[in-house]
Amino acid sequence: METSVRRVGDSQDLLGESPCWDARGSRIWWIDSLAGRVRSIAVDGGPEDATTDEVPAPCGSMTLCEGGGVLLALKDRFAHFDPATASLQDLARIDVEHPDVRLNDGKCDPWGNFIAGTLHGHRNAGEPVRGGLYRLAADGGLEVLARDFGLTNGPCFSPDGRTLYVADSSIGVRTIWAFDYAPDQPLSRRRVFAETEALGAGPDGAAVDEEGCLWSALPRIGHLARFTPKGKLDRLLAMPTTHPTSLCFGGAKLDRLYVTSISRSTNLTGRLPADGGLWEVSGLPAPGVAVARFGR
């Protein structure tokens, strides 16, 4: 099947991130991280089906909640946002308060816990990383899983949920790591899954398909990469946007990828009129794995 890409809606984000498939409403949800916006659109509808809500910026990532609404990773805290009432309820705060540290990418594990990590910007050579990788449980309990991620991106899970993939996109690292994972245990057996330095970009948002292959956005070269379960590069897919950022599987059969992008972030500026848009990729080699909602 031939792969094709089309734009969905006419929204334009500064820094689009964290797309989530809503099977209950047949919608895609995502954020404009820098503008502080939560967006959604019916995947087979038009711009008139789109919604936008304002939330505190910066917003690192989001996920849908089992009981309704969305969970947001804000600068230094996790909060539940209800679009119906525009109400925001803080759930937990990370143990770092620093002007250059904020929560970044996150995703739920198959048991409804939210895994999210920080980015530490403007870090000097030799300066220790502040922040880390966190796990937020449905009851609001928060624990630290790792401390040494300078720029956390792309947490996602193998089809059986027993392997966590998570990237450090820092310059000089640009590595996707794999860990043995259990929802109530520390991470173990850390190993390199894939390195992207040779591709000329750090790995950003990621998702896993039914064949166990990991798709990663490579913003600096405008491509998506697919890696086999062994971490071997399987294919590169050029996108019609300068800087794709993150992706999720969606559609009734989870056979489409939805991809966010940048028009102007703190480090990157798009060159094309449709940069910052939401994109749909069809004609994929395998459907995706469903992502759980946050269990509250």
Per-residue confidence (pLDDT) for residue 73, from 0 to 100: 98
How many domains does the structure of the chain reveal? 1
Residue ranges in 78-150 assigned as alpha helix (H)? none
CA atoms of 214 and 225, how far apart (whole Å): 8
Judged by DSSP in three states, 8 sits in strand
Structural domain boundaries enclosing 156: 4-282
Residue 292 lies in a domain: no
User: Does 293 reside within a domain?
Assistant: no
The distance of Cα 48 from the centroid of its chain, to the nearest Å, equals 25
How would you class 214 by CB atoms within 10 Å of its CB: exposed for 0-12, middle for 13-18, buried for 19 or more? Answer: buried
Per-residue confidence (pLDDT) for residue 46, from 0 to 100: 76
Whether 289 is in a domain gets the answer: no
Check: CB of residue 119 under 8 Å from CB of residue 100: no
Half-sphere CA count of 40, side-chain side, radius 13 A:
19
pLDDT at 15: 98
Task: Please report whether residue 294 resides in a domain.
Answer: no
pLDDT tens profile 251-275: 999 999 999 999 999 999 999 999 9
Find out whether 175 and 216 touch, Cβ atoms under 8 Å: no
Question: 3-state class of 178 per DSSP?
Answer: strand
Summarised one tens digit per residue, pLDDT across range 119-132 is 999 888 778 899 99
28: domain CATH number?
Answer: 2.120.10.30
- Read off the amino acid at residue 214: L
Please tell me the distance from the alpha carbon of residue 202 to that of residue 51, in angstroms, as a whole number.
31
Question: Within a domain: residue 51?
Answer: yes
Segments in the chain below pLDDT 70: 296
What does the block give as tokens for 137?
């449980």
Q: Give this prediction's pTM.
A: 0.97
Q: Can you read off the two tokens belonging to residue 3?
A: 């792969």
Q: Which of 65, 89, 67 is nearest to 78 (CA)?
A: 89
At residue 284, the pLDDT reads 98
